[in-house]
Chains A and B, each alone.
Chain A
Amino acid sequence: MRRAGAAAAAAGGRCRRWKKVLYRAQPFPDNYVDGSFLEELRKNIYVRQYRYWSVVLESSVVIQQLSSVCVFVVIWWYMDQTRLSPQQLFASGLIVYLLGYLLFDIIDLGEGRMHSGRTRWADLKSTVVFVTFTYGFSPVLKTLTESISTDTIYAMSVFMLLGHLIFFDYGANAAIVSSTLSLNMAIFASVCLASRLPSSLHAFATVTLAIQIFALWPMFQKKLKARAPGCYLTVTVVNTLAAVLGLLTASPTAAVLYALLLLTITFLCPHYLVTLQSSKDNIHGPWDEAEIKEDLSRFLG
């Protein structure tokens, strides 16, 4: 086409340069392009360069959450096998909770509390509301699923916990993230599982444990990661080891599979991510949609 265009220009005797407009009558056909075709094309300008070990370190968020779920299930299983009594669980949970509460404030030296404006009195009220409500509802929760078969309950719990893991807020800015939904699914799963236990005190202990693991622990971990990453890493490793050991006592196969899963997520997936960056082929150009990057409120009113 270039040759045809050049030939036409030479033959026509008019050495006008081709301009990329349609409102002028030019001696070229409408679909003619000259040598400046696609010179504004850019490739892969927003591609990030990942470093392997940073990605491995960041994947600890996912590992953390997986281990929490695992720990919860293991503790429930212990209670189901009556190896653990609800009073022991409640007592240990209470101690851990108080410890975490103190640490939460110490870590950022009280800034977070000043930011959110939440008083200790409000915290106390929330705690009392939780505990009384759960205690009052535990007999109802116990008899809730009596007539439903165990397999259905297990299937529902697995489904709900999977959903919890999928919708959890790992810090990514994606549309699928919904922290409300993930928390609700986890609580639903805990209620399903709690209704299978022998007495209403067991149910009460399970639900309280679920709140601590799924609602309070992630908040604590987020703050820890922001302030003291080294400490955070240690806590993650301890959590993972606890999960694997707990699974080991339950069933060795499960422990092996779980360890494999963890290794895959920690080492294999980041490697895959880094190597796949080289086959990225994004094209950008002036034809892209405009993005408003500035805050326009300074132009208004």
Chain B
Amino acid sequence: MVIKVFFPSCCPEAESGLLLGRWIPEQNAAVVLAIIHYPFIPGQVKQYLEQIQSVTTVNVSVLGSWSSHSSRTKDNIDQFLQDLSSIFPHDFWFQLTQEKESRSVFKCHVVQQCDSKNDKENVILIHYDQRKVMLSKLHDVDSKSIECNHNTGEEAEAITSDFAAIFDTVAKCELLFMIDKYDETPIKFTHWQSAGRETSIIVELAKQASVPVCMVLLFLVTFVLNICKSRVLNIWPLHILWSRLTTCVQLAHRLDHLQTIASSTKAQNHTEFMRKANLFVSFLIDVGLGMLLISWLYQQNRIGQLADALIPAADHIAKELEILLEWLMGAPAGLKMNKALDEVLGHFFLYHIHLWISYIHLMSPFIEMILWYVGLSACLGLTVALSIGSDIIALLTFHIYCFYVYGARIYCLKIYGLSSLWRLFRGKKWNVLRQRVDSCSYDLDQLFIGTLLFTVLLFLLPTTALYYLVFTLLRLVVVVIQGFIHLLVDLINSLPLYALGLRLCRPYVLAAGVKFHVFQKVAGKPLHLLMQINPLTYGMIIKRYRLPTYGCYPKDSWAALCKKLFIGRLIYPWKRRNEKQD
């Protein structure tokens, strides 16, 4: 049987005393938390142990004795230790003796209380850094459980790992480590903080100031949210508008975050705390980048230049579209188009462009002022600025969207009519009840009119298909540009910056596991290992602590998208996560 003894790395310099810690019988491991020095009163020690047990719910007890090299008194040490083991009854009594030659090699003698077999057991001494183990959080790196955690939305606190119990023990005994040598207590301890508690003034001040700030912020945010949810702003046409504008969605998202950050309940567990911290840091960085953008934009009258460039850009787009339509009305790429239909469609679209350009020109005196005020909203964050950019692009290319919808509807109707009339041509019919094609005997007039219409639709198909193709391509270009901007916004929204910063500065806090170095191997003495914390990789951190966003991901697979394009259904390739299915 192999017994593992976890020994704090600050304790080899300590004076002799009693080992205080927890025995974990399932793993045959003893975790030493502190050393109680002589002199002590056993009654007080027992009382103190009971207090600690009731507060921390950890089964702390006296595990054994520690005799350091410097303060050894040879005489009747064995009898003294024998008496001690009877005062503090324990299954296994560990006697650690430090060697004279090397301070970090000790002999370990185990005395078993229950059955005095006293056979030679193998003992491994593992040195661990108490502060790091107390602050770190062990993560379950099993990828399956991470996925199912994401799906269910709750984090399983019960991590099945051998070392989880040890990390847990040390973390829960924080109260034990509060007593340092400057406190007036009857019992003298040695642990990692016994030289003096460490704290920071800034952190204390921030903690004090955060409470009123949070309350004010929470009040403001709830007020704004109530206004937004009021019925006035949510009547039917406006509701569609708010849900389509990316800016509004992004602002709502950020307000949600602020509400989470400023909530008055403390974070219950590690995951909630990390989430709040990630949101906070991400929000700060976002606002910082937004401020940078503002400072860059408002220098040297760049806003004015932007406004001046906007109208000519819209004009240029319109002119290009007109040239394209003239080309389509001729014989594009040598294709044979039906003249009459061509003319009709071409003039229809040209009139639309004319309307749109007139509207833009009407708005041109106000553009600069509007841009100036809208640019100010970038102080709410870079993501908001990018969303506004995406919305401006959508507004400028609104006519392309309209053309796409017209072309798609006409094409879709035509395809639907053609497929139905083709079935009539062969003498068959679609059976809606059985969802299959059946034969059907039509009347003479149905046959005749159906065939005539089929001929007409068939010969007009190339013209319509060409218009549809051209406008779909244009629309796809705009969608790709918008998708790219959304991707950027999503990236900023979801990156867990606090966790990444933690991994950079304090890698031991997010632990994936432990690794061991062989410390000392001397024949005849127990094996000494040094335990070091293995931090999570950056990839795992991002996967685990990703902030949930309203994310944009492709709704259809490639095959489904191609099929929809072929039939003429309208495509909305990016779906938001909480949008209703259409």
Contact = CB atoms under 8 A, between A and B. Distances in A.
Contacts of A141: 452, 455-456
A180 B444 contact: no
Contacts of A39: none
A211 B448 contact: yes
B442 interface: yes
A148 interface: yes
B402 interface: no
A183 B449 CA distance: 12
Interface string B435-461: 000000110110111111011100110
Contacts of B456: 137, 140-141, 144
A59 interface: no
A184 B338 contact: no
Given A137-B452, A144-B455, A211-B448, A184 B425 contact: yes
B451 A187 contact: yes
Contacts of A261: none
A178 B340 contact: no
B427 interface: yes
Given A129-B445, A146-B339, A147-B339, A184 B459 contact: no
Contacts of B455: 141, 144, 187-188, 191-192
B190 to A, nearest CB: 97
Interface string B56-73: 000000000000000000
B337 interface: yes
Nearest to A129: B445
Contacts of A192: 455
Interface string B159-175: 00000000000000000
A180 B441 CA distance: 8
A178 B442 CA distance: 12
A52 B425 CA distance: 38
Interface in B336-377: 336-340
A184 B451 contact: yes
A207 B449 CA distance: 12
B337 A147 contact: yes
A130 B444 CA distance: 10
A273 interface: no
Nearest to B443: A126
A141 to B, nearest CB: 7
Interface centre among A134, A147, A181, A211 (most CB of B within 10 A): A147
B553 to A, nearest CB: 44
Contacts of A137: 452, 456
A26 interface: no
Nearest to A195: B459
Contacts of B336: 147-148
Nearest to A137: B452
A192 B459 CA distance: 10
Contacts of A179: 427
Interface string A107-143: 0000000000000000000100110011001001101
Interface string A172-187: 0000001111011001
Contacts of A143: 338-340
Interface string B455-477: 11001100000000000000000
Contacts of A191: 451-452, 455
A188 B339 CA distance: 21
Nearest to B426: A181
A165 B455 CA distance: 20
B383 to A, nearest CB: 52
A85 B340 CA distance: 26
Nearest to B342: A147
A215 B460 CA distance: 26
A141 B425 CA distance: 18
Contacts of A211: 448
B461 to A, nearest CB: 11
Nearest to B421: A184
A170 B573 CA distance: 54
Interface in B484-504: none
A60 interface: no
Contact of A187 (B338, B339, B426, B448): B448
Nearest to A148: B336
A146 B442 CA distance: 31
Interface residues of A, number: 27
A188 B444 CA distance: 15
Contacts of B441: 180
A178 B444 contact: no
Among B427, B459, B460, the most chain A Cβ lie within 10 Å of the Cβ of B459
Contacts of A129: 445, 449
Most buried by A among B340, B424, B445: B445
A126 B445 contact: yes
Nearest to A179: B427
A140 B455 CA distance: 11
A137 B456 CA distance: 9
Nearest to B441: A180
A295 B445 CA distance: 34
B448 A147 contact: no
B459 A145 contact: yes
B447 A180 contact: yes
Contacts of B425: 181, 184, 188
Nearest to B452: A137
A126 B444 contact: yes
Interface string B115-129: 000000000000000
Contacts of A145: 459
Contacts of A146: 338-339
A215 B444 contact: yes
Interface in B405-442: 424-427, 441-442
A144 B444 contact: no
B454 to A, nearest CB: 8
Contact of A180 (B427, B445, B449): B427
Interface string B70-83: 00000000000000
A241 to B, nearest CB: 29
A220 to B, nearest CB: 13
Nearest to B425: A184
A192 B426 CA distance: 18
A148 B463 CA distance: 13
Greatest chain B CB density within 10 A among A133, A134, A187 is at: A187
Nearest to B428: A180
A147 to B, nearest CB: 4
Contacts of A140: 456
Given A180-B427, A187-B452, A191-B455, A147 B445 contact: no
A100 B442 CA distance: 23
B124 to A, nearest CB: 79
A147 B336 CA distance: 5
Nearest to A167: B427
A178 B427 contact: yes
Contacts of A207: 452
Given A180-B426, A181-B425, A144 B459 contact: yes
Contacts of B450: 184
Contacts of A134: 452
B448 A180 contact: no
Given A133-B452, A144-B455, A184 B447 contact: yes
B488 to A, nearest CB: 47
Which are the 4 A-B pairs with shortest beta-carbon distances?
A: A180-B427, A147-B336, A187-B451, A191-B455
Given A141-B455, A147-B339, 18 more contacts: A126-B445, A129-B449, A130-B445, A133-B448, A137-B452, A140-B456, A143-B339, A144-B456, A145-B459, A146-B339, A183-B451, A184-B425, A187-B452, A188-B454, A188-B455, A191-B452, A191-B455, A215-B448
10 contacts: A137-B456, A141-B455, A144-B456, A147-B339, A148-B459, A178-B426, A184-B424, A184-B451, A191-B452, A215-B444
Interface of B: 336-340, 424-427, 441-442, 444-445, 447-452, 454-456, 459-460
